[in-house]
Amino acid sequence: KKESRNTAEIVCVRSDCKEGPYAPIPQAYIYGDTVQVQLDNLEPCMYVAVIVQAQHVSLPSTVWNHVVKKVTLGVYGPKHIHPSFKTVVAIFGHDCAPKTLLVSEVGKQAQSSPPVALQLWGKHQFVLGRPQDLQIGMYSNMSNYEVKASEQARIVRGFQIKLGKVSRLIYVIASRNAEDISDFTLRVQVKDDQEVILAQFCVQTPQPPPKTGVRTTGQRRFLKKKEVGKIILSPLAITTKYPVFQDRYINSLKYGKLLKTVVRQNKNQYLLEYKKGDVIALLSEEKIKLKGQLWTKEWYIGYYQGKTGLVHAKNVLVVG
């Protein structure tokens, strides 16, 4: 507070360990709500804390009487709502709320499951006069959705707020009718230990996930494998005449020497396996270009050990 500048002062301390010890930072400047410090001996991980220190405080007053302490509440939830989902109310001791919050699942499988990233639905900020127990309540404005009665009002202890720790309160919200899902409004209410309302605000939930394509009951375009042999063609069906394969002699047969041994882990009936130093018959000197994911490869059509298939052009030396 401006009127308390002669009574209280702000001190910045730093440490390389979270547990301390902390040492004062000599150069610290205050600009309104912003504290600027100059850090020397930078480390990969450092901890900086801002402390309000009062020299002379008369009971029952505390150092909080000289501070305008702002508390920020952030409501976090999934990207889309479902028939049953969890929301988190996070209490921060400053005026910022991150856009995402990592929350670990609560339960028997909490150790094995990774933390879940929840998105910020809305936030609210208010001034807290003194550190005290806060009762955070969450309520739905739609009868179809309900917050579990045992979890509607959760308690944040005053010592947690005094230490500046981030508190996370998890609320389970379920729908009475899973077929009727739509976005709705949540009301968050903050009360003190005397049931006096300190803050109250509302947030809008996101939409449910978009519906996937509905399966049509019409005729399928493709047949199952078991149904292929049961097809009975109509006598009026038009049959297409395809050319018949013929045996032909190859006049200009070429040979090549294999420069590499190739054994394929994934067998393919079109790609040959061969041994370095053997001779392969090439049915044509023309190369077939096949485009892969990264580059285009060139292949010969070869005959090797009773099999006809493709051999990579780089692995063959044409000898005539």
Non-local (6+) Cβ contacts of 27 within 8 A are 37, 38
Question: Which is higher by pLDDT, 203 or 240?
Answer: 203
Q: State how far the Cα of 254 lies from the Cα of 271, in Å rounded to an integer.
A: 19
pLDDT score, position 278: 92
Q: State how far the Cα of 269 lies from the Cα of 306, in Å rounded to an integer.
A: 13
Q: Provide the token pair at 211.
A: 């519906």
Residue bearing tokens 């230990």: 193
pLDDT score, position 296: 82
Measured between alpha carbons, how far is residue 14 from residues 21, 35, 42, 161 in Å? 8, 14, 11, 20
Task: List pLDDT tens digits, range 84-138.
Answer: 888 999 998 877 888 988 887 554 444 556 778 899 999 999 888 888 889 998 8
pLDDT score, position 315: 92
Greatest CA separation for the chain:
112
Q: How many residues does the chain have?
A: 320
222 C-beta neighbours (distance < 10 Å), count: 5
Q: State how far the Cα of 58 lies from the Cα of 292, in Å rounded to an integer.
A: 80
pLDDT band at 275 (very low <50, low <70, confident <90, very high): very high
Contact predicate 158/222, CB 8 Å:
no
**Is residue 211 scored above 70 in pLDDT?**
yes
pLDDT score, position 109: 46
Residue type, 219: Q
Most confidently predicted of 1-5, 138-142, 208-212, 241-245: 138-142
Contact predicate 138/105, CB 8 Å:
no
Most confidently predicted of 30-34, 80-84, 161-165: 80-84
Contact predicate 89/136, CB 8 Å:
yes
Segment 279-291 shows an average pLDDT of 85
**Is residue 287 scored above 70 in pLDDT?**
yes
Non-local (6+) Cβ contacts of 207 within 8 A are 80, 81, 182, 183
Task: List pLDDT tens digits, range 212-248.
Answer: 655 555 555 555 656 555 555 555 555 556 667 677 7
**Is residue 172 scored above 60 in pLDDT?**
yes
Q: State how far the Cα of 100 lies from the Cα of 263, in Å rounded to an integer.
A: 50
Identify the burial level of 142 via C-beta atoms within 10 angstroms of its C-beta, where 0-12 means exposed, 13-18 middle and 19 or more buried.
Answer: middle
Identify the burial level of 144 via C-beta atoms within 10 angstroms of its C-beta, where 0-12 means exposed, 13-18 middle and 19 or more buried.
Answer: middle
255 C-beta neighbours (distance < 10 Å), count: 14
**Is residue 207 scored above 70 in pLDDT?**
yes
Segment 68-72 shows an average pLDDT of 84
pLDDT score, position 194: 86
Task: List pLDDT tens digits, range 13-50.
Answer: 999 888 889 999 888 888 877 888 888 888 888 888 88
- pLDDT-wise least confident of 105-109, 260-264, 306-310: 105-109
Segment 160-180 shows an average pLDDT of 85
pLDDT score, position 279: 92
pLDDT score, position 75: 93
Residues forming beta bridges with residue 304, ordered by sequence position: 307
Contact predicate 127/93, CB 8 Å:
no
Identify the burial level of 205 via C-beta atoms within 10 angstroms of its C-beta, where 0-12 means exposed, 13-18 middle and 19 or more buried.
Answer: buried
**Is residue 197 scored above 60 in pLDDT?**
yes
Instruction: Supply the mean pLDDT for the chain.
Output: 81
**Is residue 176 scored above 90 in pLDDT?**
no
Q: State how far the Cα of 189 lies from the Cα of 134, in Å rounded to an integer.
A: 10
Question: Which is higher by pLDDT, 173 or 69?
Answer: 173
